[in-house]
Chains A and B, each alone.
Chain A
Amino acid sequence: MKARITVTLKSGVLDPQGKAIEGALRSLGIEGVASVRQGKVFDIELASKDKKAAESELKNACEKLLANTVIENYRVEVIG
Chain B
Amino acid sequence: MSVVYLVLPLALIIVGGAVLAFVWSAKNGQYDDLETPAVRMLHD
The answer to whether A and B come from one shared complex is no
